[in-house]
Amino acid sequence: MDFRLIAVFFVIALLWLPAVASAQHGDMSDDVRFEDELSSSEFMITGRVRAIAVPSFILGFFFDEHSSNWSDGQKNFSYGAEFVWRRGSDFELGLAVDHADLSMPEAFWKESGDSPQSADWTEMDLQVWSVVFSAYWFWDVETWFTPFIGGGLGPGIVINNVERYDPEPGSACYSGLGGSGDATFAPPECFREDGSPDEDSIDFENPTSEDDIPPVVPMVNLTAGLRFNIQNYGVLKIETGIYPYLFAGVGFGGQW
């Protein structure tokens, strides 16, 4: 945790170096230059919503069997807000707070290389609250149109409610895991007719809470997008990037 805080302060210090350097002038116009920079500052507050996902191929590095975001009716979004300070025409600094729902449909999960019978029926309820400090560089192509890129760093607080259940040893479900010979990992004996897991085949009375997920994780922001200025005070942003999950979304707010 101390290392992450030091890293955040280091990034902040690097981002402020251009501002410090621009103040290092020895001529008589320093006061005028400083006043001009202050008068050209702009501020912006936007709310945003994003579609998010952890790519299946990344999970595939660690798990042979797993569920995924945006499958079986699961919808994954993040909601947040960001305050941005634009310093003249140099760069923007932003502080954002987001809540991300990374939950996945319940399914069998099996770690890479493990036997099929070691798979657990897993209920994946995973939420992340993040506070990220970012810097953006932009190009005012028109007064109403500004492409931008940026990056940042901050802590993510993980709210983990992941429960794992073992298949009942000796059951047809247990012995048939991974042995169907087709794309279906779990045999029909693991499920009821309506598709729900069979309580006689999976031990739901003795859950195991997942404790390998850290409570705090580093959030690395890499963003690219388009900003549309609406009249003098409205802002519409279209963004995509990594947070570290993949995201694409829109933001709307005001500037002054």
- What is the per-residue DSSP string for 189-222? GGB-TTSSBPTTTB-TTS-EE---S-SEEEEEEE
Strand pairing category for 216-230 and 246-255: unpaired
Instruction: Output the pLDDT for position 149.
Output: 97
Cβ neighbors of 97 (< 8 A, separation 6 or more) are 80, 81, 82, 129, 130, 131
C-alpha to C-alpha distance for 6 and 13, rounded to whole angstroms: 10
**According to CATH, what is the number of the domain 2-11+42-104+126-162+213-255?**
2.40.160.20
Instruction: Output the pLDDT for position 216.
Output: 96
The neighbouring-strand residues paired with 93 are 85, 135
Report pTM: 0.79
C-alpha to C-alpha distance for 103 and 77, rounded to whole angstroms: 10
Q: What percent of the chain is helix, strand and coil (3-state, nearest 5)?
A: 20, 50, 35
Alpha helices in the chain (DSSP H): 2-22, 30-39, 56-59, 172-176
Residue 190 buriedness (CB in 10 A; 0-12 / 13-18 / 19+): buried
Instruction: Output the pLDDT for position 232.
Output: 86
Instruction: Output the pLDDT for position 23.
Output: 37
| Omega before 167 within 30 of 0, i.e. cis | no
Residue 81 and residue 48 in contact, taking contact as beta carbons nearer than 8 Å: yes
Instruction: Output the pLDDT for position 118.
Output: 95
In the chain, domain spans: 2-11+42-104+126-162+213-255
Instruction: Output the pLDDT for position 89.
Output: 75
Instruction: Output the pLDDT for position 17.
Output: 38
C-alpha to C-alpha distance for 137 and 151, rounded to whole angstroms: 9
Q: What is the mean pLDDT of each run of 10 residues along the chain (256 residues)?
A: 37 40 42 48 95 93 94 94 88 96 96 94 96 96 94 96 95 89 82 94 94 92 97 95 96 95
Instruction: Output the pLDDT for position 87.
Output: 81
